[in-house]
Amino acid sequence: MRVRRKPNPNRNHPLHCPYCASELLFPDEETEFAWSCQDCLRVFSVQFHGQDDPPVKPEPARSSHEALANSLKRKGHEL
């Protein structure tokens, strides 16, 4: 009996073949990240390596209470 391998959480699913734009893609056994295009018969890999830090980090979001307090303050109300 063949044992099914564990799912690879880092496997991405491409929507189109990068060579011919076909949507007929199936996982391939070449590597853990390989896909096989049924139209052009190419086998390619799609792998997520991580994410760079943004050049400018956004400010952390205000809490609802802080946002309400700022809004009321702008309109001349006191809490």
Binding site for Zn ion (CB under 5 A): 17, 19-20, 22, 37, 39-40
Residue 13 Cα to chain centre, angstroms: 10
Residue 66 Cα to chain centre, angstroms: 31
Q: How far apart are CA 7 and CA 11, in angstroms?
A: 8
Instruction: Please report how close the Cβ of residue 57 comes to Zn ion at its closest, in angstroms.
Output: 39
Instruction: Please report how close the Cβ of residue 62 comes to Zn ion at its closest, in angstroms.
Output: 47
| 19 versus 48: smaller Cβ distance to Zn ion | 19
Q: Give the single-character DSSP code of 15.
A: S
| 20 versus 46: smaller Cβ distance to Zn ion | 20
| 30 versus 66: smaller Cβ distance to Zn ion | 30
Q: How far apart are CA 24 and CA 37, in angstroms?
A: 6
Instruction: Please report how close the Cβ of residue 41 comes to Zn ion at its closest, in angstroms.
Output: 7
